[in-house]
Amino acid sequence: MIRLNKYLAENTSLSRRDADKAVADGRITVNGVPAEGPWVQVDSSSVVTLDGKRVGLEDYFYWAFYKPVQILTAYGDGHGKDTLEVFPMLAEKKPAYSGRLDYESEGLIIFSNDGDFIRKLQKSEEKIQKEYIVSVSRQLTQEQIDILKKGITYEGIDYLPCIVTKQDEKRYRVILHEGKKRQIRNMFRHFHIQVRRLKRVRVGRINLDGMKPGEMRVLTQKDLEGMI
């Protein structure tokens, strides 16, 4: 634990004197509450903000990962199937993730040790877009596309309205605001259409950005803007 003004001096461009003034001016919060004074004790688990922006992001890591097909989005025993632990960085840290993809799907998964950030990505009420490229066994009719845009119920599960854009005869761009288990496969199965390939290409403003299967990149402050 260290004093708040020292924490600010180490993690921002403020001097300790400037940090004291920022606290006095009400510009600093700790865990969502205005800081009482520069003497408040904080550590790396504390959520400290300056003018509404989190301080000390270096205490957290935020990764974009391109999950290949035939990898379970899980740690531990895959019962004969490869899991995330075939990738050394994930095996070592076992970070939380948002955006589970099934075994035969590929694409973007976000990893972080920032639990608040991961939970935010998982909440449908946050309305964070998830974008997919989907190849299917046969094309949708315009009527079926319109039905998906209004939302459907399949096997007792409600799926919210989504954006569906035709790319070519059997390939679609689908944008969701939620992420229920096997959602896209079930939405197409509702019309007796099989998904041949499913690739998540974007979550919010974060995209694959030319990544290849199995690659990981560290997310920048720009990537995370408006998401933290």
DSSP string, 3-31: EHHHHHHHHSS--HHHHHHHHHTT-EEET
Contact 65, 109 (CB under 8 A): yes
Phi, psi (degrees; rounded to nearest 5) at 53: -110, 135
> Residue 62: is it exposed, middle or buried by C-beta count within 10 angstroms (0-12/13-18/19+)?
buried
Q: Is 223 a catalytic residue?
A: no
| Contact between 116 and 82 (Cβ < 8 Å) | no
**187 membership: H or E segment, kind and range:** helix 183-189
CA distance linking residue 178 with residue 89, whole number of Å: 28
Q: Which of 82, 102, 114, 146 is catalytic?
A: 102
Cite the beta strand spans of the chain per DSSP E: 2-3, 28-30, 33-34, 41-42, 48-50, 53-55, 62-67, 96-98, 106-112, 130-136, 152-154, 157-159, 163-168, 171-176, 195-203, 206-207, 216-218
Question: Hey, what are 39's tokens?
Answer: 């003497």
Q: Which residues are catalytic?
A: 102
